[in-house]
Structure 1
Amino acid sequence: MDRLEEIKSAAEKLPAISEDAISKLCQSLPRLVQLVNEKFLIDDKFCCGKPLDKHMKIVKNIHKNFGDALLAVYQFSLYDVLIHEFAWIVSTLFYRDFEKDYFPKMLNAWIMAIHGTIEPSRSRELIQPLRFLERNLSVILENWDISAKLENENQEEFMNLLLEKRRRDATDYTISLLDSGYSPDDLCHGILIPAMKQIGLLWQKNQITVSDEHAATEITRYIIYRLCDSIPRKQALPHRVLVSCVPGEEHELGAEMVASYLESQGWTVYFTGHSAPDEDIVVVISRYMPEVILLTSTLISNLPSTVELSKRIRQTEPASKIILGGRAVVRAKRRMQEFADALIVDYREAHLTAIRLL
């Protein structure tokens, strides 16, 4: 076990935060983010060190995202996930020329903001995981680098076509692989998903832009539609499923893959896409009465909305079966199981899991 994994294991033993303290954090979060940003602006103006002028937009975005993730981590006692999320921040910012001294300053700013805003009996609870990060920061800073390679030339070729924004060529390439003997599942799981994961990694390493990543996502989405159109649909099943990202979730490619796969298996699929308000999702459920509801969450910060929506569906449509999936759900699976009838790791599990529940 490497040092980072050791820290994650140790973090799991941290005590749970009380509901009252979590409530105080939730109420104070916008103010806390503001205070943390203000401290960095003051430090940047009056203290020595590398100026953050050109990075302040990134800094503010990181602070907000960290606060949202912190709330989810506290709510579900996912302290091992907190280590992973902070290591991701370290990696992302190091590749954008941030100095090492930014990270202890960031943690200290959060601790000071919590102490100054929330009553002592609750602030002492809330800062303990941050103190744990402080104590283990040197290990995180030594193990921040990320590296991963694609497994074969087909994945490389497809990724390069995406990065060059050649939609027609990328589509023709996948169709040629389909004609050469690849199954649609082989293409999705063996080519499209690895290439998109590598593109996400390239963004994290500051080697491509956000627009590059978004263009690759749109091209991949188009290709998924083309692949699904080329697959003879299996005999229609007498079952209905709603597939949706949870409220606030912008990463919808995984949900689209699930929806397309279930359609190919004969399901009647209702797809609400990304960032739909929970009210709209509940209305669609009430209108079409799906037997299965599949919700996806990619970001840890969206786990609270995942749980709230699951609870609401349980109250309004108790007969419907709930399946949860997505990167955040997988990372938090030990806590998410109580809020769903089943969890899935990838889209290929959706059909059999849903059938098993009916």
Structure 2
Amino acid sequence: MGEYVVAASMLSTGLNVLSSAETASPSPSVEEAPESPTTSRFSALAADYLSLLLSADRPAAQRLLLAEAEAGTDVRDLYLRVLQPTQREVGNLWHSGTISVAEEHYCTAATAGLMAQAQPYFQGTPRNGRRLLAACVAGDLHTLGLQMVADFLEYEGWEVSYLGASTPWIASRA
């Protein structure tokens, strides 16, 4: 449990730093670039996906994005431009008290299920000889980010062994 407390504290500090940087006002000399059609498309997909999740329609939410993958959209784009911003917004909604922890868990579980269904899009790349053992520290149940990293590396040819949430430390038996 000690490893989790240390990791959680470090992550919390990092998130606070990032949050304060995001909320800082932009430099007056920096103009916001207009949104591209591709960015608009992914923003709309993310909004639709989130809306379906918040209305508790997991099957429709998953069909929406799987249809995109079937149509040839790079699943990595769906991860980074739809799932990641949606999960960030789900966290913000929970943090602000707009949704309950049960609703947050529902959205997260639906996204995890979708990611499991997307696995075939990450496999099939010739192996490059590199390996990854991916696990969350004991007590950490937040697996989506780790799963995304593992999936991206698998796409790049890594052999991935994904252990998931709350992996206990096991001392060597010499």
Q: What TM-score, normalized to structure 1?
A: 0.37
1:205–1:243 Cα change, 3 Å: same
1:206 to 97, 102, 111: 97
Q: Considering only CA atoms, is the larger Rg found in Structure 1 or Structure 2?
A: 1
Equivalent position of 1:174 in the other structure: 65
Deviation at 1:276, TM superposition (A): 1.3
Equivalent position of 1:272 in the other structure: 163
Using the alignment, how far apart are the partners of 1:233 and 1:243 within structure 2?
19
Equivalent position of 2:142 in the other structure: 251
1:153–1:243 Cα change, 3 Å: same
Contact 1:241 1:269 in 2 (8 A): yes
2:106 to 215, 218, 236: 215
> Which structure features the higher share of helix residues?
1
Deviation at 1:178, TM superposition (A): 2.3
SS of the residue corresponding to residue 245 of structure 1 reads strand
Are 2:63 and 1:189 aligned? no
Structure 1: gaps (5+ residues): 1-25, 27-67, 89-150, 287-358
**Count of residue pairs the alignment pairs up:** 147
Deviation at 1:164, TM superposition (A): 2.1
Partner AA of 2:77 in structure 1: D
Instruction: State the identity as a percent.
Output: 27
Output one character per residue of 1:177-218: Cα deviation in whole Å (capped at 9) or x when no partner: 224442111100000110110011111111111111111111
What pairs up with 1:1-358 in 2 under 5 angstroms? 72=9, 81=13, 84=16, 152-279=43-170
Deviation at 1:237, TM superposition (A): 2.3
1:83–1:254 Cα change, 3 Å: closer
Structure 2: gaps (5+ residues): 21-39
Contact 1:243 1:272 in 2 (8 A): yes
Using the alignment, how far apart are the partners of 2:150 and 2:144 within structure 1?
10
Deviation at 1:160, TM superposition (A): 1.1
Partner AA of 1:84 in structure 2: N
Equivalent position of 1:111 in the other structure: none
SS of the residue corresponding to residue 103 of structure 2 reads helix
| Superposition CA RMSD, Å | 3.2
Using the alignment, how far apart are the partners of 2:85 and 2:75 within structure 1?
14
